[in-house]
Structure 1
């Protein structure tokens, strides 16, 4: 069976007139049909795997005590949020709670920066790993 007779499936796409004209001009320049041009371009190995920056996930071991403490902080913050929502606080009380939560958020930011600093100390940049701060 020849290569052309084995092709019995269709791929339909919508293009603008300008796109189709450009593609047809390219096909004419190469002396092939539009279908052959598209097939050739899509089957080209350079197009099969475009160069993109891959993301590598790195898991660093953490001190279990730190993990437990962070978990407690998160639980406490959830309890505070539930209590604030349920209590129907006066505006001045809400301001007090927001001040407290702001302090907790600042403390968590400090902890996060310390963890990033320690992670960078492992110097995984040679393996393509970047540590960034949000």
Structure 2
């Protein structure tokens, strides 16, 4: 039985250190042959890994919902088009408060 024609090329960039490590681990004269054997091994224990989202903290979700409600109220006010000088100040202050809340949440949940 003849070897299949290998006409597809996969380019993999590695650092000089990674290349040396691969060559060191490779027991064969040809690195590509060994890599094919390692990656296409039918007897290997291959399971496609899917990363599941971590459950979100309910307290965090409540705070985010509150911030979303604040943003909706701000957007509603902005979309009315009835702008007085004090309204502009109130909207900017509300946006600044939302920004502060988000910064606090980011710091807490890192």
Q: Normalised by the size of structure 2, how large is the TM-score?
A: 0.48
Higher RCO, 1 vs 2 (CA within 8 Å, ≥6 residues apart): 2
Higher helix share: 1
Q: Normalised by the size of structure 1, how large is the TM-score?
A: 0.41
